[in-house]
Amino acid sequence: MSVFADLVGQERVVAQLQAAVDAAARLIGGEAEGAGGMTHAWLFTGPPGSGRSVAARAFAAGLQCERGVGCGHCTACDQAVSGHHPDVAVIVPEKLSLGVKEAREIILRSSRAPTRGRWQVTLIEDADRLTEDGTNALLKALEEPPPHSVLLLSAPSVADLLPTVRSRCRLAPLRTPPPEAVAEVLMRRDGVDPAMAAFAARAAQGHIGRA
């Protein structure tokens, strides 16, 4: 099952990310043709419950996939999705803001060569917490990305980040999934009864985490 299987109601973004995974695999294989779908910096946006974190983690897994397709079955996919891949770092702010110190640590980590994976992937959750100084420090990694480095930012809206950052990222906009899509996941993934799944999805208003 694809790493994007739980990203429900986001067909357009899934197609975009799958194309980027395919392009990234071609780049790793030394093929320049058709690799334009991949870039070094991405911005995942969407309201709470849209699955922007799920999308970013699934994309990270797809990039590391041993088969280059985001198969969801190989060791690299499993490790990336579960948070145990040595070349996928998920930065979750512990404070109210991310400043220069944190930004420099992110840059240092992203500059390292991958140890076992195809790419050195760094995901910054709640990137809207970056201070102006932190953002300016992070620009170095966006303007002069090291080889095999991919930076993923997650925030509720593009307006939450400075123009200097969002202009250097490829946007992956997510929306709140429809209740029927959430119900389908609950039935397939968790074995929930159809009637109960439909009720939970409606009650959660499309927020799959609450459902």
| Percent share of the chain, pLDDT over 70 | 93
3-state secondary structure of 123: strand
In angstroms, the CA 1 to CA 165 distance is 34
Q: How far is CA 197 from the centre of its chain?
A: 26
Q: What pLDDT shows up at residue 208?
A: 64
Q: Does residue 50 sit in the same domain as residue 135?
A: yes
Q: Does residue 138 sit in the same domain as residue 170?
A: yes
Q: Does residue 165 sit in the same domain as residue 181?
A: no
Instruction: Give the gyration radius of the chain's Cα atoms.
Output: 17
Q: What is the pTM of this model?
A: 0.88
Q: What is the pLDDT of residues 192-210, one digit of tens each?
A: 777 887 777 777 666 666 6
- Residues near 119 by Cβ (< 8 Å), separated by ≥ 6? 24, 63, 64, 87, 148, 149, 150
Mean model confidence pLDDT for the chain: 89
State yes or no: pLDDT of 148 exceeds 60. yes
In angstroms, the CA 53 to CA 44 distance is 8
In a domain, 2, yes or no: no
Q: Does residue 31 sit in the same domain as residue 123?
A: yes
In a domain, 52, yes or no: yes
Q: What is the pLDDT of residues 21-45, one digit of tens each?
A: 999 999 888 776 656 689 999 999 9
DSSP 169-208: SEEEE--PPPHHHHHHHHHHHH---HHHHHHHHHHTTT-T
Domain tally, the chain: 2
Q: What pLDDT shows up at residue 206?
A: 62
Q: What pLDDT shows up at residue 209?
A: 64
Q: Does residue 204 sit in the same domain as residue 187?
A: yes
- Residues near 195 by Cβ (< 8 Å), separated by ≥ 6? none
3-state helix, strand, coil in the chain (%, to 5): 45, 15, 40
Residues of the domain holding 164: 11-175
Q: What is the CATH number of the domain that holds 49?
A: 3.40.50.300
Q: How far is CA 211 from the centre of its chain?
A: 21
State yes or no: pLDDT of 161 exceeds 80. yes
In a domain, 63, yes or no: yes
Q: What is the pLDDT of residues 45-80, one digit of tens each?
A: 999 888 899 999 999 999 999 999 999 999 999 999
Q: What is the pLDDT of residues 84-142, one digit of tens each?
A: 999 999 999 988 899 999 999 999 999 999 999 999 999 999 999 999 999 999 998 89
Q: Does residue 46 sit in the same domain as residue 106?
A: yes
Q: Does residue 205 sit in the same domain as residue 144?
A: no
| Amino acid of residue 15 | A
Q: Does residue 64 sit in the same domain as residue 88?
A: yes
Range 149-172 average pLDDT: 95
Q: What pLDDT shows up at residue 15?
A: 96
Q: Does residue 120 sit in the same domain as residue 192?
A: no
Q: Does residue 166 sit in the same domain as residue 204?
A: no
In a domain, 4, yes or no: no
